[in-house]
Amino acid sequence: MDAERIRTGERRVATGMLTELTAGAPSAERPTLVLLHGIQGSASAWKPLMERLSPEIHALAPNLRGRAGSHAPDLLEAYGLDGFAADVAAYTAGIAGPFVLAGWSMGVLVSLEYVARHGCGRLAGLVLVGGTAHPGTECRWFAGETPERIAEEAARRAEALRLTETAAPFAVAGSWMAVRRADHRGTLAAVSVPTLVVHGAADDQCPLSHGRAIADAIAGAELEVWEGCGHNPMAHDPQRLADALAAFMARL
């Protein structure tokens, strides 16, 4: 798919204005693919994948609060998983049929928060990429204990993960202060839709054991382990991930 076919736009939803990338056209015959970015990135992290998707797949990548022109509350507490899940619920309310929720990194936790709060009724499937249900002490995306220190670390991490567009430092700090306490291990058993878990064997941000734990806890989940891949499969091999998503959606 040509990059020119990826469209930029914005939507005013119940929680505020969200900017977005979109590709493909809606279809009554297949679910929409909704792509959720990580803690520091934006919808642009999914762009290499979206460029390679078939135009038959309707793909939407929203920028959650604090990213790329979307609404940006001035309270750190607004960047918790509950706030991000509220954005997802408001955004997907405009989708006519079922949708597949695909989250990367923090987007995995946002997806699980969505399931915990809204169930699986509207979901056709889940794709969980490079994520965790419980960061604990092993998933240390940032070491700082204050918003100021976290913001300082953000630039170095963005470069390491090859992120071309990043969240506001304030939003990153608020997100991490909430995410590091998250525990959705109990939510995994409530996932009742087909699920694909993709995890890099060389992920130094979120160890492979976390991806395995997610796949083991969700009934019938498929696990793909990518040898030589780190925390960002979209940058590592976007064509392979696009193919994996397309194959997964074809089975739904």
Q: How far is CA 57 from CA 29, 208, 214, 238, in A?
A: 10, 29, 26, 16
The tally of CA atoms less than 13 A away on the side-chain side of residue 42 is 20
- Per-residue CA distances from 177 to 41, 139, 180 (Å): 16, 13, 6
Distances (CA, A) of 219 to 75, 128, 138, 152, 188: 38, 14, 24, 40, 9
In DSSP notation, 168-216 reads: -HHHHHHHHHHHTT---GGGGGG--S-EEEEEETT-SSS-HHHHHHHHH
Please provide the average confidence, as pLDDT, over all residues in the chain.
93
| Rounded percentage of the chain residues whose pLDDT exceeds 90 | 79
SS3 69: coil
Percent of the chain surpassing pLDDT 70: 98
Query: What is the mean pLDDT of the segment spanning 152-178?
Result: 81
The per-residue pLDDT for 125 is 98
Q: Residue 213 has what pLDDT?
A: 98
Supply the pLDDT for residue 4: 67
Q: pLDDT by residue (tens digit) across 50-74?
A: 999 999 999 999 999 999 999 999 9
Instruction: Give per-residue pLDDT as tens, 189-237.
Output: 999 999 999 999 999 999 999 999 999 999 999 999 999 999 999 999 9
Residue 168: the pLDDT is 79
Q: Is the pLDDT of residue 79 over 50?
A: yes
What is the arithmetic mean of pLDDT over 118-147? 93
pLDDT at 154 over 90: no
| CA–CA dist 246, 250 (Å, integer) | 6
Distance CA 184, CA 163 (A): 26
The per-residue pLDDT for range 31-42, each reduced to its tens digit, is 999 999 999 889
Supply the pLDDT for residue 146. Answer: 80
Rounded to an integer, the average pLDDT of 84-104 is: 97
pTM: 0.94
Give me the numbers of helices (H) and strands (E) for the chain, helices first please. Answer: 8, 8
Q: Above 50 in pLDDT, residue 1? A: no
Q: Are 205 and 139 contacting, i.e. CB atoms less than 8 angstroms apart?
A: yes
